Amino acid sequence: MSENHKIIEIEVLRYNPESDDEPHLEVFKVPFSDDMSVLQGAQYIKDNLDGSLTFRWSCRMAICGSCGMMIDGIPKLSCETFLRDYYPKRIRIEAMAHFPIEKDLVVDLSGFIAKLESIDPYIIPKEPRTLEQGEYLQSPEEFNRYIQFTSCINCALCYAACPQFGLNHEFIGPGMMALVQRYNLDSRDGGSAQRMQLVASEEQGVYHCSAVGYCSEVCPKHVDPANAVNVNKANAAKDYFLHFLSPKGGSK
Amino acid sequence: MSTRKPYVRSMDGWWKKNPYFVEYMVHEATALFVAAYVLVLLVGVIRLGQGETAWNGWLAAMQSPVSVIAHLVLLAGAVYHTYSWFKILPMTMPPVVVGGKKMAPEALTGSALIVAAVAGLALLAVVWRIAL
């Protein structure tokens, strides 16, 4: 930060659970250089203007998925969003939409984590193999089927973009469905039927999605979670009808 | 004692807060245009069943200036509905692999729009021939 600094106004949605009944906006004047991210703007505020400002961050390079926030109303990772792109206008940062605000820019992700556990996000081997039988082999074609869905960093921006999740917190949501696809499409995995219980569930399942598609639009890793959700609508329907034909098919 | 007091924000007017959501609502609302035209055609079928006078009355009503304007409005709604649905088509279907490569979303949307346009024009040609 050497060259002559410009000053940008950052408007922050503040909420202190110990003293506030509801969130309010507070404006800070932040000197910035062209290489400064919105996250660095928040860090400047915390270090120099108000030490009580609370937010999450870790890697600063769009891989940890911690620093998501609403930037001028759009869910973005603050580490890869630059102040220069908003100057000279005032920029507004708020906690990720649709999640309860814990404090300032920090949201309560406990529901998100509970869902993450509920989908069995690991490979459930199709057939048990002993060490002597060697490793599970996979062709490049089989690998390509799911590789896109491995890019998810659990940043939850897709949930902040999903009005159906905002209206119904039970909905399993886009990010989880991307992870379901990551494992269901893996040739080594045999857990699809087990995961279908949740995918097709009336309370939480994919049919709560109305194909708004904004989740895929905001995904910083181009995972296309909307595709994972919508493809599974067809899978859930197929599973439902299979249930009538075969005692083995169908999850319910 | 915990001092936690998570604040849940209201969802009131959510769709007005983002242009993307406004577009989504317009695209959903244009389904009503398609439904309205289905009703128009249904009335035509009922009038046809009621005899020649009723049918000719319906045909005359269809040719009135108000009806022509209504047709243009409904057509615009149906075209936008088609366009906006095919725009999200790639995210609603499994990947289409051609020659070992995943088809680009733009190519899928483009192909669907071309098929819709060709089908629409073919139907128009058939109806035109019958009408003449």
CA angle (A168, B84, A203) in 5-degree steps = 20
Instruction: Using a CB–CB cutoff of 8 Å, tell me whether A117 touches chain B.
Output: no
What does the pLDDT read at residue B99?
82
What does the pLDDT read at residue A76?
98
What does the pLDDT read at residue A3?
56
Q: A250 pLDDT exceeds 80?
A: no
CA angle (A129, A135, A139) in 5-degree steps = 120
Mean pLDDT across A76-94: 97
Instruction: Using a CB–CB cutoff of 8 Å, tell me whether B131 touches chain A.
Output: no
CA A150, CA A153: separation in Å to the nearest integer? 8
Q: How far is CA A61 from CA A35, A40, A58, A95, A245, in A?
A: 13, 12, 9, 19, 50
Backbone angles phi, psi at A243, to 5 degrees: -55, -35
Q: A75 pLDDT exceeds 60?
A: yes
Range with the largest mean pLDDT of A67-71, B80-84, B95-99:
A67-71
What does the pLDDT read at residue A248?
57
CA angle (B35, B36, B38) in 5-degree steps = 65
What does the pLDDT read at residue A247?
62
> Residues 6 or more apart from A172 whose CB is under 8 A from it?
A115, A119, A198, A199, A201, A204, A205, A206, A208
| Contact call for A17 and B4, based on CB within 8 A | yes
What does the pLDDT read at residue A4?
64
Number of CB pairs < 8 Å for A and B?
68
Beta-carbon-side half-sphere exposure of residue A192 (alpha carbons within 13 Å):
17
Which residues from chain A sit within 8 angstroms of residue B24, using beta carbons? Answer: 212-214
Could you tell me which of B7, B17, B11 has the C-alpha nearest to residue A106? B7
Could you tell me which of A113, A94, A99 has the C-alpha nearest to residue A55? A94
Q: Per-residue pLDDT tens for A205-240? A: 999 999 999 999 999 999 999 999 999 999 999 888
Assign domain A6-107 one CATH number from 3.40.50.620, 3.40.190.290, 3.30.360.10, 3.10.20.30. Answer: 3.10.20.30
Among the residue ranges A39-53, A94-108, B98-112, the one predicted with the least confidence is B98-112
> Residues 6 or more apart from A126 whose CB is under 8 A from it?
A188, A189, A190
- Which residues between 24 and 43 in chain B have a beta carbon less than 8 angstroms from any beta carbon of chain A? 24, 28
| Contact call for B6 and A231, based on CB within 8 A | no
Higher-pLDDT residue of A42 and A201 is A42
CA A64, CA B58: separation in Å to the nearest integer? 65
Supply the pTM of this predicted model: 0.91
Class of domain A110-245: mainly alpha
Bridge partners (DSSP) listed for residue A12: A26, A93
Mean pLDDT across A36-54: 97
> Encoding tokens for residue A121?
């996000």
Using pLDDT thresholds of 50, 70 and 90, give the confidence band for residue B95.
confident
CA A137, CA A150: separation in Å to the nearest integer? 18
Tell me which amino acid residue A20 is.
D
Q: Where are the domains of chain A?
A: 6-107, 110-245
Q: A2 pLDDT exceeds 60?
A: no
Q: How far is CA B75 from CA B28, B38, B78, B130, in A?
A: 15, 12, 5, 21
Question: Domains in chain B, please, with CATH?
Answer: 14-131 (1.20.1300.10)
Q: Give percent of chain A with pLDDT exceeding 70.
A: 96
CA B53, CA B116: separation in Å to the nearest integer? 35
Q: Per-residue pLDDT tens for A115-167? A: 999 999 999 998 888 899 988 899 998 999 999 999 999 999 999 999 999 99
Q: Is residue A164 helix, strand or coil?
A: helix
